[in-house]
Amino acid sequence: MSAPFDLTDDSVVVVIGTGAGGGVLANELAQKGVSVVALEAGGRYLPEDYINDEWESFGQLAWADPRTTSGDWRVSKDFSGLPAWIVKAVGGTTTHWAGASLRFQDHEWKAHSTYGDVEGANLLDWPIDPREMDDYYTRAENKLGVTRTGGRAGLPGNNNFKVFEKGARELGYKAVHTGRMAINSADYDERPACQQTGFCFQGCKWGAKWSTAYTDIPRGEATGNLEVRERCHVLRIEHNEAGKVTGVIYADADGNQQEQKMRVACVAGNSIESPRLLLNSASPMFPDGLANSSGQVGRNYMRHVTGSVYAVFDQPVRMWRGTTMAGIIQDEAVHDPSRGFVGGYELETLALGLPFMAAFLDPGAWGRELTTALDHYENMAGMWIVGEDMPQETNRITLNTDVTDQHGLPVANVHFDDHPNDVAMRDHAYSQGKAVYEAVGATRVFPTPPYPSTHNLGTNRMSSNPRDGVVNTYGQSHDLGNLFISDGSQFTTGAAENPTLTIVALAIRQAEYIAAELGRQNL
């Protein structure tokens, strides 16, 4: 049978979400001849639709459904209803991401073994051998066209990178380059080379940056095995008495409730929506939510140790010109406890336009301390910190029954407190970032607090022991055998690297497993 599929067709695999995890999984399965219905809460936007204007684009793409926050993180104070800056659209946050595509370091797959017990941290090793990932990473890099891998050239450095690079060299950093980016440095895979336009966060109007919206999704659809239903928001997953999931209830584009029957369900709605969906699917048989016998659904929410350093110089930089994330310093990504914390961090250039700089440089601030910085916007350079944060059981997604969304369901509350290791790492990174810019003559440097999270991880984590986590090494529920988690919520730990490449590699691996298990009649 070929797409479109009937609501009663219980032979299909349903994929919920079409971002880096769901979009890739849906295509990979479709290429193998598996029938897939992908349900996407957002609408479909393509490069010609993207808007190179920060606030207008935010209105077009951002996931703005109600959410609440708690905890000591500053996002909860400054952006209390916006814990995350992620996308509601076909392609998910692959429309918005900057494109940094880094492999985990070997030791990061074994965080507990490497770091030992860290008080207050719920550390665990991934049930994956890093050597097994080598081939999946290579396939992911070739799919995304990652620069500086597979013989592909690096991108040229823009002004923001040149300032960053010079400062890094002055400090003696060695692993400094324009990054391994899923942004074409030359025409590749029917996508053009980067035109240094800026606005990577707003969707690449050239299509030079990889996004499932215009790669995996249409290619999957072209097989005839994939049907993408946009503006279809999944409300609940149904199961039978045998403990198998049987269908999903969703609100379609007209707001009508539908049920799609299925053989396998794959949840890829991001680390906030995925656990929320499992919790909202509680039943008499699973009163604490689906797949939650461990009690770990929603827990161990990670968002990376982030923050930014912006610096003002006595001459123009014009950081907004060109690739938003234009280069990286990797020297601090190592695990070196002599710095006062476990794990490591990357420093990556970042630029915001004037409207977002005003909103994010020091949220809530006013007066001349802030405005004299913005006065020199043209002379600013910027970088972003991305480091490994500690999984904590108390950092978690819960249902807030006091607030409901447009479908009448409890919204997600996102609770986050920094772990002392996170604070020590961030302080170290702020100091190093400041030193980088002062080495090239910065006249003023700002430690900018974390933005609403774009890296949302860990809330349905992978574990070898069903008591410790939600899914097994293939992202398969320990409790319900035909339920899979296919996004960053399956991350056992966060590592120091931007997560997309690993989400994609895991999706390729999961697609192989699901197709094989379907073939063996095990699903």
Partner 1 sequence: MSLSKQGMTRRQLLSQSALFGAGFVIGAGFVAGKASASNWALEVEHLNPGTMATLIQMARDIYPHDQVGDQHYATAVKGYDTAEAAEGVEAGVAALNDAARGVGYARYIDIGWERDRADLLRGFEDTAFFQQVRGGLVTGLYNQKAVWPIFGYEGESFSEGGYIDRGFDDIHWL
Contact footprint for partner 1 (CB under 8 A): 52-55, 156-159, 162-163, 166, 194-199, 205-206, 315-318, 320-322, 353-355, 357-359, 364, 366-368, 370-371, 374-375, 377-378, 440
Q: Which is nearer to partner 1, 311 or 462 (CB)?
A: 311
Q: Which is nearer to partner 1, 266 or 440 (CB)?
A: 440
Q: Which of 393, 378, 374 has its CA nearest to residue 296?
A: 393
Beta bridge partners of 188: 191
65 contacts 405 by C-beta, under 8 angstroms: yes
C-alpha 167: how far from chain center: 29
Q: Cα(503)–Cα(137) distance, rounded to whole angstroms?
A: 10
Q: Cα(49)–Cα(1) distance, rounded to whole angstroms?
A: 32
513 contacts 195 by C-beta, under 8 angstroms: no
> CB of residue 329 vs partner 1: minimum separation in angstroms?
16
176 contacts 192 by C-beta, under 8 angstroms: no
3-state secondary structure of 333: helix
Q: Which of 379, 300, 289, 304 has its CA nearest to residue 348?
A: 304
> CB of residue 158 vs partner 1: minimum separation in angstroms?
5
> CB of residue 192 vs partner 1: minimum separation in angstroms?
11
Q: Which is nearer to partner 1, 133 or 352 (CB)?
A: 352
> CB of residue 371 vs partner 1: minimum separation in angstroms?
5
481 contacts 471 by C-beta, under 8 angstroms: no
88 contacts 62 by C-beta, under 8 angstroms: yes
Q: Which is nearer to partner 1, 25 or 380 (CB)?
A: 380
Q: Cα(417)–Cα(76) distance, rounded to whole angstroms?
A: 10
Residue in the block written with tokens 């807030």: 400
Q: Which is nearer to partner 1, 26 or 194 (CB)?
A: 194
Residues 6+ apart with CB under 8 A from 423: none
Q: Which is nearer to partner 1, 315 or 521 (CB)?
A: 315
Q: Which is nearer to partner 1, 6 or 56 (CB)?
A: 56
> CB of residue 166 vs partner 1: minimum separation in angstroms?
5
Q: Cα(15)–Cα(266) distance, rounded to whole angstroms?
A: 5
> CB of residue 77 vs partner 1: minimum separation in angstroms?
12
Kindly list the distances between the CA atom of residue 299 and the CA atoms of 14, 98, 360, 417, 514, in Å, as whole numbers in the listed order. 25, 27, 28, 12, 26
Q: Which is nearer to partner 1, 104 or 210 (CB)?
A: 210
> CB of residue 47 vs partner 1: minimum separation in angstroms?
10
> CB of residue 188 vs partner 1: minimum separation in angstroms?
16
